[in-house]
Amino acid sequence: MRTPDVFIKGLGVHLPGTTSIDEAVAQGLYPEFEAELHELAGAAVAGDTPAPEMALRAAEEACKRAGHRPDDTDLLLYADSWHQGPDGWQPQYYLQRHLVGDHALAVEVRQGCNGMFAALELGSWYLRGRPAPESGDRAPTALLVASDNFGTPMMDRWRMGPGYVAGDAASAVLLTTQPSFAQLLAVESVTVSEAEQMHRGTEPLFPPGPTTGRALDFQARNAEYKQAALASGTGTAALVKVHARTLELVDRVLDASGIALSDVTRVAYMNYSREIVEQRCMAALGLPMERSTWEFGRTVGHLGASDQIVSLDHLLRTGELGPGDHLLMLGVGPGVTLSCAVVRILHPAPWCG
């Protein structure tokens, strides 16, 4: 979807301190051979800070950086991939109570690791469907947040999945139709439902795992999926399709953005191991690893739905992205969903001057 009339007004990040892979190995939490194989460096660990509180801090920072009045927010989208608080309670209303007020439409987005991409797409549709502001009126604004704290009894952050460890973080994006320092050129998601079982394995659908205290283990589920695929004779056909659809999606989003791959300055992918980032993303696109955000991502872990936005904030703060540059954001989530977006930097971010 082309979104040249949608702009990023502000960004906010809450990234707690990290625990190094060396510390995790010394404590027996992470296998030493995997440390050598995957070249990961650490994971952000929030302790007992609740995910909604981290989301509030990131959202407050985004509003402060942009000089945005929180109660001028028209839409609040809250993306998450892990439990946020008491069952039967929804976290977006915590931000309404403590930040944006009651008039905004507030919705939780349960799209796993690609939740922020879904929020970007939904937020863009919402803003573009609003009447154009008359002279002197403010432009509509959407606040998108993502937050997760994986330090819970049913989650082992150091063995969450093959080739990655889980880090805690929150991120926030302010979208608007008023020109600002960065422009969202295009965003799109597709699904390869043939690979739906990849994140389910052979685990029963009922009763749901969290209601029985069953831990989440994507490594085991992935192994079960591959075994079932081999037994059925389908082999790796779905995985091959995921690869092909990823390349097709990138081509479409670049075309919608009006740029070529050669115009891409940096690529923000999932915060996975070096071999996964290189094989599934950078080498597949024909780009060198130096243009990825892996060197940063390896230090903080896979941050749920926040990987790409935290990387964007990092690139802006370190001066690795500047006016005229393009960031390609690419994500993978359960479904299997594939998501892609392109951001163009128009001016230095106001808080980075």
Q: What is the mean pLDDT of residues 66-90?
A: 96
Q: What is the pLDDT of residues 116-140, one digit of tens each?
A: 999 999 999 999 887 766 656 788 9
DSSP letter string, 51-95: HHHHHHHHHHHHHHHHT--GGG--EEEEE-SS--SSTT--THHHH
Asked if residue 139 and residue 265 are part of one domain, the reply reads no
How confident is the model at residue 229, as a pLDDT?
76
- Residue 133: what pLDDT? 67
Rounded-to-integer distance, Cα 78 and Cα 144, Å: 6
Residues 157 and 197 in one domain: no
Per-residue pLDDT averaged across 178-200, rounded? 94
Could you tell me if 278 and 285 are in contact, meaning their C-beta atoms sit under 8 angstroms apart? no
- Could you tell me if residue 352 is inside a domain? no
Pair (129, 31) in one structural domain: yes
Same domain, 160 and 222: no
Q: Do 43 and 125 belong together in one domain?
A: yes
Single out the residue of 257, 252, 202 nearest to residue 232, CA to CA: 202
Q: Please check whether residues 133 and 10 belong to one and the same domain.
A: yes
Task: Please tell me whether residues 104 and 215 are part of one structural domain.
Answer: no
Last residue of a domain, one of 160, 179, 198: 179
- What residue numbers bound the domain in which 332 lies? 186-347
Is 117 inside any structural domain?
Answer: yes
Reported pTM: 0.95
What does the pLDDT look like over 288-340, one tens digit per residue? 999 999 999 999 999 999 999 999 999 999 999 999 999 999 999 998 999 99
Question: Is residue 353 situated within a structural domain?
Answer: no
Do residue 164 and residue 281 come from a single domain?
Answer: no
Structural domain total, the chain: 2
Boundary-marking domain end, from 132, 154, 179? 179
Burial class (CB in 10 A: 0-12, 13-18, 19+), 49: middle
User: For position 300, what pLDDT does the model report?
Assistant: 98
Q: Residue 234 sits in a domain of what CATH number?
A: 3.40.47.10
> Tokens representing 175?
């979208």
pLDDT, the chain, mean: 94
pLDDT at 233: 66
Q: How far is the first Cα of the chain from the last one, in angstroms, to the nearest whole number?
A: 31
Q: CA-based angle 112:113:115, to the nearest 5? A: 70
Pairwise CA distance, residues 109 & 107, whole Å: 6
User: Are both 251 and 234 inside the same structural domain?
Assistant: yes
Any domain includes 211: yes
Confidence of residue 1 (pLDDT cuts 50, 70, 90): confident
* Res 288: pLDDT: 97
What does the block give as tokens for 142? Answer: 């959407």
pLDDT at 107 over 70: yes
Q: Are 61 and 159 contained in the same domain?
A: yes
Of 18, 108, 10, give the one whose Cα is nearest residue 60.
10
Mean pLDDT, residues 52-62 taken together:
98
pLDDT at residue 158 above 70? Answer: yes
Average pLDDT over residues 167-181: 97
Q: Which of 131, 148, 179 is the last residue of a domain?
A: 179
Looking at the fold, whether 306 and 230 belong to one and the same domain comes out as yes
pLDDT of residue 235: 62
Average pLDDT over residues 66-92: 96
pLDDT of 66 over the 80 cut: yes
pLDDT at position 136, please? 64
**pLDDT class for 53, splitting at 50, 70, 90?**
very high
Check residue 135 and give its pLDDT. 59
Residue 312 lies in a domain: yes
Residues 6+ apart with CB under 8 A from 286: 261
Q: What is the pLDDT of residue 74?
A: 96
pLDDT confidence tier of residue 164, bands split at 50, 70 and 90: very high
| Same domain membership, residue 286 and residue 221 | yes
pLDDT over threshold 90, residue 270: yes
